[in-house]
């Protein structure tokens, strides 16, 4: 149904009438929305007529009647024709625009219009128009009303503060498994944490990964606490100085060069990052490891000094770490090396 406003030619030609439409739209006047929809429909038909005229220009280039004056009067005739078409029912585009924009601008149509809309079944051509002009019509009509689309959008969200490196590491550790299925997953997942804490000791982070790989068999044999992981990468024992969670497991000890199984309590952590941090505190807080920390710049001297200080009872402890450190997987952090880690648990003396 067409509005009375559509019968007034001034709506299509005078800026004063355009301003009236804008004001009515601000007041959520359904008549203004209908008038704008009809106006856009006329503008669209004008564009169609103009495109058709331009397509015919190629066939009338040598026509003596194809002059600028003739084109001027043709344009006037086309404008009047599209205006008459719009006022007499148009092509159905105006009704589609009203339906689309009424919800977006919070404009409630009158009850009779709602009932008419419910009874009206769109033809196939109108359905095609609805899909084709779903976005174009909304943007164009909003421009006519002088109201930007963002004014109808929800209030802009507050900017999200940047995420710190510590928060990134925390987010990563929360997604890490209690055990790792492959050496590649072990290195890829733990390298960011190793890089974060290695600077506190002055060591190469790959040395820390090599030692953890030896202690846990590339993460496949992390000590478990029931169904949960202890996240203990360096198999540090729970001595009298440890006040946190602990877990009792069987461990492989070397007594006078002879390997034997014993029960021992090991520290349990809430995450792999906690394990790395406790490893740093464990070394820094013990006088026996100060010589090893002084050798931190040299990976091989560092692990050798750890063994000499009694970090583990395995006589081949430093050699095993050195081989893992020199292997492809650790040195390149790309593909699996030819060496595999010892999956046994070595005790840590305090």
Taking the C-alpha atoms of residue 282 and residue 236, their distance in angstroms, rounded to an integer, is: 8
What is the phi/psi pair of residue 138, to 5°?
A: -60, -45
Does residue 253 carry a catalytic annotation? yes
Taking the C-alpha atoms of residue 350 and residue 344, their distance in angstroms, rounded to an integer, is: 19
Looking up tokens 């009303």 gives: 145
Q: Which of 204, 274, 278, 314 is catalytic?
A: 278
Q: What is the number of other CB atoms lying within 10 angstroms of the CB of residue 166? A: 10
Taking the C-alpha atoms of residue 298 and residue 309, their distance in angstroms, rounded to an integer, is: 16
3-state SS assignment for residue 176: coil
Is-contact 100 138, C-beta < 8 A?
A: yes
Taking the C-alpha atoms of residue 193 and residue 198, their distance in angstroms, rounded to an integer, is: 9
Residue 347 tokens, joined: 């005790």
Does residue 155 carry a catalytic annotation? no
3-state SS assignment for residue 327: coil
In angstroms and rounded to an integer, the radius of gyration of the C-alpha atoms of the chain is 39
What's the longest Cα–Cα distance across the chain? 115
Q: Which of 41, 204, 253, 304 is catalytic?
A: 253
**Strands, E assignment, the chain:** 224-225, 228-229, 246-255, 258-267
Instruction: Give the CA angle between residues 180, 184, 185 to the nearest 5°.
Output: 40
Looking up tokens 């606490």 gives: 225
Question: What are the residue numbers of the active site?
Answer: 253, 278
């Amino acid at each position: 149904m067409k509005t009375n406003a559509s019968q007034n030619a001034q709506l299509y030609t005078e800026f004063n009438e355009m301003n009236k439409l804008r004001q009515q739209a601000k007041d959520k006047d359904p008549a203004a929305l209908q008038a704008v929809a009809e106006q856009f429909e006329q503008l669209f038909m004008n564009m169609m007529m103009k495109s058709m005229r331009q397509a015919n220009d190629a066939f009338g280039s040598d026509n003596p009647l194809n002059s600028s004056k003739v084109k001027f009067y043709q344009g006037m005739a086309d404008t009047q024709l599209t205006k008459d078409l719009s006022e007499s029912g148009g092509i159905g585009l105006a009704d589609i625009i009203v339906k689309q924009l009424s919800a977006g601008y919070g404009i409630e149509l009158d009850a009779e219009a709602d009932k008419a809309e419910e009874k009206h079944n769109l033809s196939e051509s109108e359905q095609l128009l609805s899909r084709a002009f779903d976005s174009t019509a909304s943007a164009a009509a909003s421009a006519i009303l002088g109201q930007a689309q963002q004014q109808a959008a929800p209030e802009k969200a507050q900017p999200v503060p940047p995420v710190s490196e510590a928060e990134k590491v925390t987010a990563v550790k929360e997604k890490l498994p209690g055990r790792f299925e492959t050496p590649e997953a072990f290195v890829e997942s733990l390298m960011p944490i190793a890089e974060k804490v290695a600077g506190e000791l002055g060591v190469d982070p790959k040395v820390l990964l090599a030692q953890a790989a030896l202690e846990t068999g590339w993460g496949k044999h992390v000590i478990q606490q029931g169904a949960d992981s202890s996240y203990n990468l360096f198999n540090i024992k729970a001595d009298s100085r440890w006040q946190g969670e602990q877990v009792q497991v069987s461990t492989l000890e070397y007594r006078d060069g002879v390997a034997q199984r014993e029960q021992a309590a090991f520290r349990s952590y809430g995450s792999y990052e906690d394990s790395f941090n406790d490893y740093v505190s464990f070394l820094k807080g013990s006088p026996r490891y100060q010589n090893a920390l002084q050798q931190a710049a040299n990976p091989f001297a560092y692990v050798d000094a750890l063994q000499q200080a009694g970090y583990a009872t395995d006589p081949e402890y430093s050699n095993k770490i050195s081989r893992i450190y020199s292997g492809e997987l650790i040195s390149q952090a790309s593909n699996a090396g030819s060496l595999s880690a010892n999956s046994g648990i070595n005790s840590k003396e305090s």
